[in-house]
């Protein structure tokens, strides 16, 4: 699996008392990055995928007691595809403000929508990052300089999204 440059930055921010927000277009590897980050941790994790309707409903207009029941004893809460949840910013604010021992990591594929939903409620309470398609550095670190030099024309023509890299048999 190709290590993303953003992974180390996110790992360094865990436990700093703020939510970590990862924004990016569809299919750049946000969910994979979240799983890579969690694999480096010893804390208990709950992964909430808002593509699932039951999770989306559970996080909509929720109280602190409901959030405590959802989170349980987890120390890290990952909310993936958060832009799908109505009023997600308020739910994130409750977790950040009232459950201070919880590390919240949130991703969304619609950066404009998610950013608008979380900016006001999480002002001063978040680290926000954008994940882009693979960088040449990430590919060189994984495959080596010579292989990437040979693939440069293909990368320029077809781009460096995860599916393009995977389809080419890399």
pLDDT digits (tens, 9 = 90+) for 2-42: 999 999 999 999 999 899 999 998 889 999 999 899 888 88
Name the H helices within the chain.
Answer: 6-13, 30-39, 53-58, 64-71, 88-98, 111-118, 136-143, 145-158, 162-167
Q: In this predicted model, what pLDDT tens digit does every residue of 113-143 receive, in sequence order?
A: 666 667 667 778 899 999 999 999 999 999 9
Residue 59 has pLDDT above 70, yes or no: yes
Q: Report the pLDDT averaged over residues 140-165.
A: 90
- For the chain, give every domain's residue range: 6-131, 133-170
**What architecture does CATH give domain 6-131?**
3-Layer(aba) Sandwich (3.40)
Helices 111-118 and 88-98: angle between axes, nearest 10 degrees: 50
pTM listed for this prediction? 0.86
């Amino acid at each position: 699996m190709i290590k993303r440059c953003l992974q180390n930055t996110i790992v360094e921010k865990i436990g700093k008392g703020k939510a970590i927000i990862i924004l990016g277009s569809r299919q750049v590897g946000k969910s994979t990055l979240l799983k890579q980050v969690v694999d480096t941790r010893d804390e208990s994790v709950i992964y909430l995928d808002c593509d699932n309707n039951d999770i989306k409903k559970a996080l909509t207009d929720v109280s602190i007691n409901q959030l405590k029941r959802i989170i349980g004893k987890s120390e890290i809460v990952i909310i993936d595809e958060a832009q799908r949840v109505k009023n997600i910013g308020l739910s994130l604010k409750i977790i950040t403000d009232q459950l201070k021992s919880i590390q919240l990591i949130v991703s969304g594929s619609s950066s404009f929508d998610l950013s608008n939903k979380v900016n006001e409620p999480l002002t001063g309470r978040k680290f926000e990052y954008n994940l882009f398609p693979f960088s040449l550095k990430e590919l060189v670190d994984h495959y080596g300089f010579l292989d990437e030099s040979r693939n440069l024309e293909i990368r320029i023509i077809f781009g460096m999204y995860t599916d393009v890299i995977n389809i080419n048999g890399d």
